[in-house]
Amino acid sequence: MTGELILVLLVCLPFAGSLAATVLLRTDSRVLAARLAGGVAFAGLLLTAMLYPAVRDGGRVRFDLEWLPQLGLNVTLRMDGFAWLFAMLITGIGCLVVLYARYYMSEEDPVPRFFSFLMAFMGSMLGIVLSGNVILLSVFWELTSIFSFLLISYWHNNAAARDGARMALTITGIGGFCLLAGLLVLGYIVGSYDLDAVLAAGDVIKAHPLYLTALVLILIGALTKSAQVPFHFWLPNAMAAPTPVSAYLHSATMVKAGVFLLVRLWPALSGTYEWFVLVGIAGTCTLLLGAYFAMFQQDLKGLLAYSTISHLGLITTLLSLGSPVAAVAAIFHMMNHATFKASLFMAAGIIDHETGTRDMRRLSGLFRYLPITGTLAMVASAAMAGVPLLNGFISKEMFFAEAVETHADSMLDRMLPYIATLAGAFSVAYSLRFIHQVFFGPPPTDLPKPKPHEPPHWMRFPIEFLVLACLVVGIIPSLSIGPFLHSAVLSVLGERTPEYSLAVWHGVNTPLIMSMIALIGGAALYFVLKDYLARCDDGPPLFRHLAGQRIFERVLVTVSWKWARWLESRLGTRNLQPQLRLVAAAGLLVGVVPLYIAGFSPKAPVLGEVDPIFAVIWCVGAFCAVGAAYQAKYHRLAALVLLGGAGITTCITFVWLSAPDLAITQLVVEIVTTVLLLLGLRWLPKRSEKVDNSVTLAARSRRLRDFVLALSCGFGMFLFSYAIMKQPVPDAIASYFLEKAYTEGGGRNVVNVILVDFRGFDTMGEIAVLAIVALTVFALLRRFRPAADSIEKPEQQRIQNAYDDARPERSAGDTVRDYLLVPSVIMQWMFPVVITFSIYLFLRGHDLPGGGFAGGVTMAIAFLLQYLAGGVRWAEDRIRILPLRWMGFGLLTAAATGMGAWLLGYPFLTTHSQYIELPFIGKVPAASALLFDLGVFSLVVGATVLILIALAHQSVRSHRVRNPEAPKAEEA
């Protein structure tokens, strides 16, 4: 099996397993899921092991697959010694954790979900260590955040788990985004996202002006992931996760991703003063604070979590120093920490499992119940404390050795030895406490589960294995981990690989003394604090009350909720008027600004050319417009009449200025619109000036503003139209139409020819609009409910009916009929006349003013008249019209006419025209355009009638009670 194939399998296998677990397994198949996960992890371990020969002494395996080549994002997998070591760690500890979890998880839990997440996480983690493209790396980076979220919140009915998970995701998510940005900048500097290219370009990067930007962004990513101060607080909260998760993600693997990245990019980024300061401060603070906090935890897992933070701080500090030996120590300590910390978490899990609590104040003297687990825990925590003959000791010695060296000479550097020793003492103290308080002392009194006992052997096996590893590495380092570590170091440092010796005994030197001081001091510290610790509340004395996560939560809520809502209400609106105001203002702005820039100044008009009659007409028109604006609130009918006046003025203007077609159309539309509005008036609420004339100052100012806006819009429009009218249109296409209208369009009425031929497609869309609107109106009115106060019949009608009721010989409605007798008769007689007229308008359209639309509306008016004359019932008894059919027919006819041209091999809507003789009417253009116009006609009739009827019908069904449901308030 080739190396490339192995790499691909290594990454894909876990995801495949995860998918299988989700899809195939039933929620109760616990053992099967565990076996699957274990198998996957073990297979991964074997595959990784198989690659060792290839990566030994500096070799590397590489797999390339194009994904987004033009942007330099490819699926590049790349394994070298360092990645190999990590892959071994991930898969190896993976196996142990799965084995442990198989016993740890309880009957109720939906285990397949757990294992599928776990496997997916394993895959993402392997992806991080194996990706040879920095963008791909950030892809897997985010994936680990997502799966850690899902794993922490595995018991999602527990609020702590939910919050912990969300916090972890938010913090690491922020980090991930910053990391991506940083890596992009890195790519910008280097000119490639390929890891090898990036590593090769170290000097270019450090010299580049954007180095600091990239560095800071990447560091935010790494430090958040590795829970470094000040981003550390998510880790303790993540302890709400099931213990296997804590052991795997939050001690062995995921939290290592941050430091992994620092090591990975160490050759490219490290060695500068910025690096030393930023990384160093973060590292030392974390090292010290973590250890200090750890001493005062009462929760077993809390203690371990803070100790993890502190150890990660140690690694970071080592990396900050920028010396090769320090890097070696860092890599070495990653491995050691993973082994002993994972085993400790599992031990804590067993204790929790057996006793039902993790609170050290309640635990004591468990050694008599759990002798083996106890022993193992002791060895592991000894390693954590850095006791000789254990792996923790060796890497810590190397750390001390580095601490005393001077690197970038500075305050921080000079303080380092003391900080290191102090932190060492702390770690001794909390390790001691972990053992002493849990396993020694009097037998426990108030355990939730009395009578704890040793767990099944296979549950303990992972711990045994790891502890054994601690011992082996601790006693014969150079024989056990030596070669593997070397190949890892080689792959990171290349030719800068230093001389270093993994030995237990280097003779009596400063580091040894420091260790001794740390051991003794730590022990002393613990026995001084013992009694206090046995009683005190959770958390260190000084910092107990500034809990990171509470601050975080509060900030998050304030920023992402309170402020956001406030801003939303300030920057946005849910009311209509401001929006229209903005639209008007924007239109005014962009319309007038160019005029202003160009310094436009209209030429004063010569009074001679103003036709007095026209001017008078327009005085009336203007009066109507303003009057309508003034009356619309209180006197709707008056406003409607005035609106009509304005419409008539428009109409006359069209006539005057040689646009007969427009005039006709405008007129018929005017009529229909007015009727519609009249029909609508009845449903609007009564409003009289007496009721609401309480005009506040605010209202006045609002009106003033609107008035100014309206005035300026009017003025702007005036200027604009004056300017444009004075500007003769460049004759680009107009004359073409005039020339071809008859010769090619076959019609004398150029406008109509344009409508049905040159630009027939517009007309097609326009009738579609009409149809759509009619349908919408119909659909809406089907659900129409009159407001409560407009249900009863109008006042006048009531009076008349009352009068009728008073007379025995009259029945209700007679008076109305009497009043309307004459008009209704006339209207009924007019029916045929109007119909004929409409058909006439339609037919002559192609040559003279008229056409399908005008004709259609006219016919609709004819029907409308019948409604007005006889009332809805009467009309519908006599004329049965199916508007929908008319509309459908119209649309289809128009479309079919257009498609007819296809048969002759011409594009849509190509026309064909000739004249035919019709009796009585005379010569009629029988252009195929006429057929098209017939479609228009039919649709217009249908749509208009549908709208009118739908509206007219409401008066018939107005008695229907409006359902009491109050208008819903907008949701908060």
- Find the binding residues for another protein in span 764-823 (CB under 8 A): 764-788
Binding status of residue 751 toward another protein by CB under 8 A: yes
Binding status of residue 700 toward another protein by CB under 8 A: no
> How far apart (Å, rounded) are the C-alpha atoms in residues 61 and 38?
26
Residues 6+ positions from 943 with CB-CB distance below 8 Å: 767, 770, 771, 773, 774, 883, 887
Binding status of residue 656 toward another protein by CB under 8 A: yes
Token pair for 231: 């981003």
Cis check for the bond before 230: say yes or no (omega within 30 of 0): yes
Closest approach of another protein to the CB of residue 107, in Å: 20
Name the segment binding another protein (CB under 8 A); options: 310-318, 467-475, 651-659, 813-821. 651-659
Closest approach of another protein to the CB of residue 836, in Å: 23
**Angle at alpha carbon of residue 553, lines to 547 and 556, rounded to 5°:** 140
Name the segment binding another protein (CB under 8 A); options: 82-90, 151-159, 339-347, 814-822. 151-159
Question: Closer CB to another protein, residue 70 or residue 445?
Answer: 70
- Find the binding residues for another protein in span 502-541 (CB under 8 A): none
Name the segment binding another protein (CB under 8 A); options: 189-197, 239-247, 470-478, 511-519. 189-197
Identified binder of another protein from the candidate list 415, 826, 892, 956, rule CB under 8 A: 892
Contact 954, 786 (CB under 8 A): yes
CA 297, chain centre distance (Å):
38
Question: Mask: binding to another protein, 120-139, rule CB under 8 A, as x and -?
Answer: ---------------x--xx
- Find the binding residues for another protein in span 236-295 (CB under 8 A): none
Closest approach of another protein to the CB of residue 597, in Å: 7
Identified binder of another protein from the candidate list 722, 831, 837, 874, rule CB under 8 A: 722
Q: What is the dihedral of CA 505, 510, 514, 517, to 10 degrees?
A: 100
> How far apart (Å, rounded) are the C-alpha atoms in residues 562 and 553?
13
Buried b (16+ CB within 10 A) or exposed e, 102-124: bbbbeeebebbbbbbbbbbbbbb
Query: How many residues bind to another protein according to rule CB under 8 A?
Result: 237
Identified binder of another protein from the candidate list 508, 546, 822, 904, rule CB under 8 A: 904
Binding status of residue 714 toward another protein by CB under 8 A: yes
Binding status of residue 924 toward another protein by CB under 8 A: no
Binding status of residue 913 toward another protein by CB under 8 A: yes
Question: Closer CB to another protein, residue 511 or residue 747?
Answer: 747
Closest approach of another protein to the CB of residue 8, in Å: 15
Identified binder of another protein from the candidate list 455, 898, 900, 925, rule CB under 8 A: 898
- Find the binding residues for another protein in span 587-606 (CB under 8 A): 587, 590-595, 597-598, 600, 605
Identified binder of another protein from the candidate list 108, 495, 499, 965, rule CB under 8 A: 965
Question: Closer CB to another protein, residue 514 or residue 668?
Answer: 668
Question: Mask: binding to another protein, 328-367, rule CB under 8 A, as x and -?
Answer: ----------------------------------------
Binding status of residue 911 toward another protein by CB under 8 A: yes
Q: What CA–CA distances, in Å, run from 662 to 670, 729, 754, 894?
A: 12, 20, 13, 22
Name the segment binding another protein (CB under 8 A); options: 240-248, 251-259, 547-555, 703-711. 703-711
Closest approach of another protein to the CB of residue 883, in Å: 9
Question: Mask: binding to another protein, 607-626, rule CB under 8 A, as x and -?
Answer: --xxx--xx--x--xx--xx
> How far apart (Å, rounded) are the C-alpha atoms in residues 232 and 706?
55
Binding status of residue 643 toward another protein by CB under 8 A: yes
Please choose, from the candidates 512, 515, 354, the residue with its C-alpha nearest in 3D space to the C-alpha of residue 438.
354
Q: What CA–CA distances, in Å, run from 161 to 157, 293, 499?
A: 8, 22, 47
Question: Closer CB to another protein, residue 536 or residue 719?
Answer: 719
Residues 6+ positions from 200 with CB-CB distance below 8 Å: none
Question: Closer CB to another protein, residue 551 or residue 593?
Answer: 593
Closest approach of another protein to the CB of residue 239, in Å: 19
> How far apart (Å, rounded) are the C-alpha atoms in residues 153 and 604?
77
Closest approach of another protein to the CB of residue 121, in Å: 14
Binding status of residue 71 toward another protein by CB under 8 A: yes
DSSP one-letter string for 181-248: HHHHHHHHHHT--BHHHHHHTHHHHHHSTTHHHHHHHHHHHHHHHTT-TTSTTHHHHGGGS-HHHHHI
Question: Closer CB to another protein, residue 419 or residue 617?
Answer: 617
Residues 6+ positions from 97 with CB-CB distance below 8 Å: 118, 244, 247, 248, 252, 342, 462
Closest approach of another protein to the CB of residue 842, in Å: 15
Contact 740, 759 (CB under 8 A): no
Question: Closer CB to another protein, residue 825 or residue 892?
Answer: 892
Residues 6+ positions from 813 with CB-CB distance below 8 Å: 800, 801, 804
Q: What is the dihedral of CA 169, 172, 176, 182, to 10 degrees?
A: 160
Binding status of residue 638 toward another protein by CB under 8 A: no
Name the segment binding another protein (CB under 8 A); options: 92-100, 326-334, 407-415, 659-667. 659-667
Name the segment binding another protein (CB under 8 A); options: 319-327, 480-488, 536-544, 696-704. 696-704
Token pair for 781: 């009115």
Instruction: Give the CA count within 13 Å in the CB-facing half-sphere of 944.
Output: 27
Identified binder of another protein from the candidate list 512, 547, 632, 641, rule CB under 8 A: 632
> How far apart (Å, rounded) are the C-alpha atoms in residues 513 and 295?
23
Closest approach of another protein to the CB of residue 213, in Å: 9
Residues 6+ positions from 817 with CB-CB distance below 8 Å: none
Identified binder of another protein from the candidate list 37, 61, 143, 380, rule CB under 8 A: 143
Question: Closer CB to another protein, residue 773 or residue 821?
Answer: 773
Identified binder of another protein from the candidate list 739, 792, 805, 818, rule CB under 8 A: 739
Contact 75, 7 (CB under 8 A): no
Paired with 64 in beta bridges are 76
Closest approach of another protein to the CB of residue 124, in Å: 10
Contact 558, 313 (CB under 8 A): no
Residue that the structure tokens 């002759």 belong to: 904
Burial class of residue 625 in the structure, from the number of CB atoms within 10 Å of its CB (0-12 exposed, 13-18 middle, 19+ buried)? middle
Residue that the structure tokens 């920057």 belong to: 571
Binding status of residue 750 toward another protein by CB under 8 A: yes
Binding status of residue 649 toward another protein by CB under 8 A: yes
> How far apart (Å, rounded) are the C-alpha atoms in residues 394 and 376?
19
- Find the binding residues for another protein in span 191-220 (CB under 8 A): 191-193, 209-210
Binding status of residue 688 toward another protein by CB under 8 A: no
> How far apart (Å, rounded) are the C-alpha atoms in residues 855 and 647?
19
**Angle at alpha carbon of residue 191, lines to 187 and 193, rounded to 5°:** 45
| Residues belonging to the chain | 972
Question: Closer CB to another protein, residue 277 or residue 648?
Answer: 648
Question: Closer CB to another protein, residue 445 or residue 694?
Answer: 694
Residues 6+ positions from 404 with CB-CB distance below 8 Å: 416, 417, 510, 511, 514
Question: Closer CB to another protein, residue 524 or residue 734?
Answer: 734
Binding status of residue 849 toward another protein by CB under 8 A: yes
Name the segment binding another protein (CB under 8 A); options: 330-338, 391-399, 473-481, 661-669. 661-669
- Find the binding residues for another protein in span 168-187 (CB under 8 A): 169-170, 173-174, 176-178, 180-181, 184-185, 187
